[in-house]
Structure 1
């Protein structure tokens, strides 16, 4: 009886196993990428793989460089100490917007206090002495209307409407005549400053347009290319000017990646991610003429490149529009070279 039950269990197990195997056979696992030969693959699914279209069109030949947005020197004004003294307070920080005449802080000065006392005496006596003491106060950066008996602390005011670019000193700092306390720059007119190696700088001309990858709504125009390179960095400085759009906030002293379009040329334009760099040249996986799922690794002749695309000589391509593998191309290439199948 026990043997009979065991036999039934074996039969049931074999039946279940057979059914399971049949189900697995009915749903075979699909390979995402299947090797066709040593240079070709078949794309069965596009999971984690991007396929893009290559077409013949104008390719922008660019110079790429890094730089920073700042205020032109002509629109920068420094707030300097006209007397010896001590900063009692500074109420503004770098990046704060200010208006002309706005109080930025306060300065204590024995010299100012003395000039104020002279002015108070002259007011009582009148005559030419009053005019002289008023002139002296203004030369020290103080309006006579600010002076009152015994006053020893005087306001530090903004020379223009703009933004605080730099803060050289802080509350409690001792100042001497000529020391820069703050730097203020005008809002609106901005400048982009960058550096080029001399061999690239000779291609940059006044009037060329500058575009920014991180702020695509901005454009600038080259205003100046230095005639000499910096003796320390051996780079040539360029300056480009532009005006920010109404309502558009642009942080001062922002470092940005930029590019200048030098020219345009007709070419087959490939996405940069589709390029496979090998020791004997550059390659890409290009769709087969007869089957759009088959991609063949083909050697290409790159004539120019930028950060996103490359220009390829179209002479060796009878078709001027086809598909290429971009995302995933490098991994597929590695698998082919290792003789593996994904």
Structure 2
């Protein structure tokens, strides 16, 4: 029994000694932490690798870090942002600004005067053609014209005799029929020759053209040359394609769900691949009334206001139709980060530490977002702000990653 009591007394003494040592170590550890925290503040750095303060859900940067990451801070500005409807399509020209150049008679190409890309004026020679059929058409016309002159004299003579009841009615009818038939033939020849651009007056003087000029029907540029020297071309075959891009416009498709939002007079902002660094503007001047089934959409046409750079028919267009304007609080897109269903921005505050060095404090704040326009987002505040509150205007993804790293360290 005495032995047991001695053992219990010894164990009790040891317990008191261990407790005293533990308290002493704990006090030393606490003192060390406080000293280390003060030292970090004096340096303007955070506890975790010089980036964060021990306070949860806050990111601290020294001025050096702030400058290194080129963080920008400012108050939320009011900006005129527009709601919009996305619309894609292509650049086109009106039908009257495109021409397919043909000839009305089969012939051989004897010269080509232009190449693709050449600027041409209305009436400018594009090519020359020649063929025996062309010469035959002209000689047939000359013969018919001379025959008509003879028949006209005979017709006038027979008509006078018939009216004076001297000549035979039957003879007058025959002369009249021959005259009118030949006159119709001459008119037909003249119509064909005019289509070929030949001078009727010179043909009446028996001047025959060995070659016929193929000319441009509009001002514009040669988009395509479809023939080569010596080639025989059939009537109505396209020899050249000419396009006038003075009235090039955006032909856009608007899907069924957005049709009610668009109307004439609305502005369109769009870009093309050849001018991807700049945004062009247009105004809707026509909204289609025909609904297409595949895709379920309508066409609309917008006149381009600032025709800069290389704009050619057929180029793909990515556009936004501006539907409503409003002055709203806004922030750059790069200052907002999405976390699940939440949109986060960072408020920014600067204060001095014990060493009188600047320290930046970034606090995450949930906001609601609205209209997006030209790299800016409308923001709707969930909680009130103090007057003059500043925000990080860029690098939101870097700030959120630093915040997550700090939270992960605290969880350990």
Residue 193 of structure 1 deviates from its aligned partner by 0.9
Question: Residues 159-174 of structure 1: matches in 2 within 5 Å?
Answer: 159-164=217-222, 166-167=223-224, 169-171=226-228, 174=232
The SS at the match of 1:233 is coil
What is the TM-score normalised by the length of structure 1? 0.73
Q: Is the 8 A contact 2:116 2:225 kept in 1?
A: no
SS of residue in 1 equivalent to 2:291: coil
Question: Residue 276 in 1 paired to residue 337 in 2?
Answer: yes
- Give runs of aligned pairs for residues 179-328 of structure 1, distance below 5 A: 179-212=237-270, 219-242=281-304, 251-253=311-313, 254-288=315-349, 293-314=360-381, 316-319=383-386, 322-328=389-395
Counterparts in 2 of 1:30-45, with a 5 A limit? 34-36=51-53, 37-44=55-62, 45=66
Q: Does 1:79 align with 2:81?
A: no
Query: Quick check: 1:189–1:243 contact (8 Å CA) kept in 2?
Result: no
**Kindly tell me: are residues 150 and 158 of structure 1, through their superposed partners in 2, closer, same or farther at Cα, counting changes over 3 Å?**
closer
What is the Cα deviation at residue 174 of structure 1?
5.0
Q: 1:29 to 1:86 in 2, by over 3 A?
A: farther
**Max Rg structure:** 2
Change (3 A) 1:60 1:148: same
Of 395, 398, 407 in structure 2, the residue corresponding to residue 331 of structure 1 is 398
Q: Is the 1:39–1:297 contact (alpha carbons within 8 Å) kept by the matching residues of 2?
A: yes
Distance 1:306 1:244, change over 3 A: closer
Tell me, which stretches of 5 or more residues in structure 1 are unaligned? 1-27
Which of 168-177 and 154-163 deviates more? 168-177
Partner Cα separation in structure 1 for residue 83 and residue 346 of structure 2:
24
Q: Contact (CA 8 Å) 2:343, 2:369: kept in 1 or not?
A: yes
TM-aligned CA deviation for residue 126 of structure 1: 8.1
Counterparts of 1:125 and 1:116, CA distance in 2: 14
Q: For residue 5 of structure 1, what is the aligned residue in structure 2?
A: none
Q: As a proportion of its length, which structure holds more helix?
A: 2
1-structure distance, mates of 2:293, 2:116: 30
Does structure 2 conserve the Cα–Cα contact (< 8 Å) formed by 1:81 and 1:178?
yes
**CA RMSD after TM alignment:** 3.8
Paired with 1:265 and 1:244, the residues of 2 have a C-alpha distance of 24
Give per-residue Cα distances to partners, 1:238-281, cap 9 Å, x unaligned: 10124667xx6653224444332211233221111222122232
Structure with the bigger percentage of strand: 1
Cα deviation digits, residues 209-244 of structure 1 (max 9, x gap): 223455979543212222343333333211012466
Q: How many residues align?
A: 310
SS at match of 2:68: coil
CA distance in 2, matches of 1:322, 1:93: 64
